[in-house]
Amino acid sequence: MEISFWPQAYTSERVSPQASQTDETTSFAKMLQSEWDKSTQISTPPLQLPFLLPMLQQPLFLDEKNTYEDVTTLQTKAGEVYSPAEQKVEQSKGTAPTSKAESYGPLIESIAGEFGVDAKLVKAVIQHESNFNERAVSPVGASGLMQLMPSTARALGVKSIFDPAENIRGGVKYLKQMLDRYNGNEALALAAYNAGPGNVDKYGGVPPFKETQNYVPKVLNTYRSYA
């Protein structure tokens, strides 16, 4: 039984050894082939070193069709299949990228001013909700910079949940409603933003949910750090 040493993709049809082969290369290849035959005792096709050149020149990736492609080409194809608008990105954690926070600063200040809400509070909410990632989507479906649930977004008049301006406007509008409902109490407003006003009313304060009890002080601390 004859076993081929090289993958099927490496054939003379893909790379022409004659194009770059020298007498020295041929001699060295024959020597390696001879040593390989002695050690394995398996009949193999001639070992031709020029086939190594593509591997040294660029990274290769074996796809499902048993062909080798440039990694850059595969990344381009992935971008064509999954456009940024279709990709759901889980909200990231940690410190918000300075450039992102600064780039949304004027928009946040403008919309916050429309509703009479402190822009620094809005920024703190956005940082902990999505880390300024306009494409963020939570496991339960909250989306965009201010992590609006689809039903809440519709009720607030948001038509494009991933549009930064619409998302921020809807989120600030909702936050303003919660601030008015709880007479400007920021802790209760934030608790309602996170867990819903029904739960705040039910428990007469910040609900005993671990997530909400962690969320409220974190947002307030970030808000105060902006002052």
As annotated, the active-site residues are 129
Helices H / strands E in the chain, number of each:
10, 2
| Distance between CA atoms of residues 48 and 70, nearest Å | 21
Give the CA dihedral 161, 134, 215, 107, nearest 10 degrees: -90
CA-nearest of 71, 51, 52 to 61 is 71
| Distance between CA atoms of residues 227 and 224, nearest Å | 5
What's the token pair of residue 145? Answer: 């910079």
| Distance between CA atoms of residues 179 and 225, nearest Å | 20
